[in-house]
Amino acid sequence: MQTYDLEENGLRGLNAALQAQNAETNRTRWEVVNPKGSHAIAVGLDAPIEVTVKGSTGYYCGGMNQQATVRVEGSAGPGVAENMMSGQVIINGDASQYAGATGHGGLLVIKGNASSRCGISMKGIDIVVHGNIGHMSAFMAQAGNLVVCGDAGDALGDSLYEARLFVRGSVKSLGADCIKKEMRPEHLEILKDLLERAGSDAKPEEFKRYGSARQLYNFDVDKSAAY
Amino acid sequence: MCGIVGLFLKDQSLAPKLGDMLTDMLITMTDRGPDSAGIAIYGNESQGKTKLTVQSPNPDEDFAGLAEDLGQALGVSVTQSITDTHAVLEIPGDQFEAARAALAEIRPSIRLMSRGETLEIYKEVGLPKDVAARFNLSGMSGTHGIGHTRMATESAVTTMGAHPFNTGPDQCLVHNGSLSNHNSLRRKLRREGVTIQTENDTEVGAAYLTWKMMNGATLGEALQSSLDDLDGFFTFLVGTKDGFGVVRDPIACKPAVMAETDQYVAFGSEYRALVNLPGIEEARVWEPEPSTVYFWSHTDSPTTHEKAA
């Protein structure tokens, strides 16, 4: 186990050390102490390593992650796991706005609540939130799965493309072109797998599925008021 | 950008350390706002007196004999204490309008930073650590306080454009964001008789709340109606003699995080600002909801959770 004191040794040293690891590294487990809400902790990783942050983080923790597993024992600030490609980011506490924004792959697990714009423009990432999510979540989401074990705020899935949204609790309102859809067996399979991997004991049957009505894909002058 | 910090003490044994804690929070927010910094602190009250915090670009000239000259002009006794470019004048509580008029006569280059029974505002252009050192902010005590680090967008980087803004007795406002309807609202408020000193958007927000309260609204009601009448982005932190309140616009893209323990309620633009507060590891930490008014007051029994005003 490698322990890195962020307060003492600084952010650039941490990210340089983590980014220097590759598939053959034997330094596979890292612990970051004294994060104190710092920004850009453990970003741009590209190796199968495990990084545990002992506290809360600021902006963009785990951004652009590939292969690595990043765990935050506290809460995360805005833009956690932004543009993640693969690997896992797990937040024990809450996440601030635009968690998992533009993510292409991997799994983001938030054990508390996520605030506004969770999964905005997601492009293939899977996001599982054990608690609630805020307004404008999955705005313009293109691919991937957003699973919410609690409630969703206003304008869920506004201008959605092909991402799947699963919500167990209430949805305050649906955004433009987002509709409730039939839950088919293949969706229950996807949900079962994601909930298991995210450590949630929620039952797939308790969720409702939402997705795109596909009415806003192409410009249609008769629908201009809805754009 | 801009950084906001605030601290409301439930446990008054921390009062002597308020300035110290707020200064640490303020300096941590330097990279959100290196242009100017300011702090509003609610400290001691002298019975029946109003405190005027004034600022001068030429403090040596302007502050020499100021208390005597103002006292003579008003026919009352005035005391003053000077800190760098700022001075706090204590005048009888009913003399504010007369004092404002007299100051414009006897010291035309003096600017009024704040007025109130307990409120003092200190703000200047420069890095937060330098501003804090000039005024010895860390040595100040009080019941609650608000600080701001500014990255200017809507108006010039000047002392008068720095936050907090004071537009009514013991009221102050700091803001992260930008208001887009401030010009029309400024004209309207001036017609209604509200004094607005600058071209800054935030001062209009502060004056709007003052105007609402002049017309009978509670602070909670004024904050609620700001959601309808102010156009733009805002996270506001508002101070009054009794406490402070928070409101965010419906989009809520300007960050905010709060922490509460048995000893205090704290506000920061980022969690970084809160990390050195006592007991922060055990604090309840949360992000205030959009379009929701929060307020904490010393005159109510201590709250263990946030409450809508």
Q: How many domains does chain B have?
A: 2
Say which CATH number the domain at B112 has.
3.30.70.240
Structure tokens that stand for A142 in this block: 């293109």
B232 and B272, same domain (yes or no): yes
B25 and B158, same domain (yes or no): yes
What is the rounded (10 degree) CA torsion for A6, A12, A15, A16? -130
Q: Is the pLDDT of residue B268 over 60?
A: yes
Q: Is the pLDDT of residue B219 over 90?
A: no
Strand order in the sheet with B86-92: B79-83, B86-92, B49-55, B111-116
Greatest CA separation for chain B: 54
Contact A78 B272 (CB under 8 A): no
Chain B residue with Cα closest to A95:
B287
pLDDT value of position B230: 97
- Assess if residue B270 is contained within a domain: yes
The CATH superfamily holding the domain A2-215 is: Glutamate synthase, alpha subunit, C-terminal domain (2.160.20.60)
Q: Where does the pLDDT of residue B154 fall: very low under 50, low under 70, confident under 90, or very high at 90 and above?
A: confident
B190 and B241, same domain (yes or no): yes
Q: Supply the DSSP symbol for B303.
A: P
Cα–Cα dist A187/B223, whole Å: 44
Which of B97, B117, B137 is where one domain is finished?
Answer: B117
Q: Is the pLDDT of residue B309 over 80?
A: no
B69 and B140, same domain (yes or no): no
Q: ipTM of the assembly?
A: 0.92
B265 and B166, same domain (yes or no): yes
Chain B partners within 8 Å of A94 (Cβ): 285-287
pLDDT value of position A227: 65
Q: Is the pLDDT of residue B308 over 60?
A: no
Q: Where does the pLDDT of residue A221 fall: very low under 50, low under 70, confident under 90, or very high at 90 and above?
A: confident
Cα–Cα dist A81/A64, whole Å: 7
Chain A partners within 8 Å of B271 (Cβ): 37, 56, 58, 75, 77
Q: Where does the pLDDT of residue A217 fall: very low under 50, low under 70, confident under 90, or very high at 90 and above?
A: confident
Structure tokens that stand for A80 in this block: 């956690």
Mean pLDDT value of segment B125-141: 97
Contact B271 A56 (CB under 8 A): yes
Three-class SS state of B122: strand
Structure tokens that stand for B222 in this block: 């004024």
- Assess if residue B198 is contained within a domain: yes
pLDDT tens digits for A121-171?
999 999 999 999 999 999 999 999 999 999 999 999 999 999 999 999 999
Q: Where does the pLDDT of residue A98 fall: very low under 50, low under 70, confident under 90, or very high at 90 and above?
A: very high
Three-class SS state of B113: strand
Q: Catalytic residue at B2?
A: yes
Which of B117, B137, B161 is where one domain is finished?
Answer: B117
Q: Where does the pLDDT of residue B89 fall: very low under 50, low under 70, confident under 90, or very high at 90 and above?
A: very high
Chain B partners within 8 Å of A59 (Cβ): 270
Cα–Cα dist A5/A205, whole Å: 44
Which of B91, B117, B143 is where one domain is finished?
Answer: B117
Range of the domain at B77: 46-117
Say which CATH number the domain at B280 has.
3.60.20.10
Q: Is the pLDDT of residue A223 over 80?
A: no
Mean pLDDT value of segment A58-76: 98
Chain B residue with Cα closest to A38:
B272
% of chain A with per-residue pLDDT over 70: 99
pLDDT value of position B55: 97
Q: Is A158 within 8 Å of A186 (Cβ atoms)?
A: no
B86 and B167, same domain (yes or no): no
% of chain B with per-residue pLDDT over 70: 97
- Assess if residue B292 is contained within a domain: yes
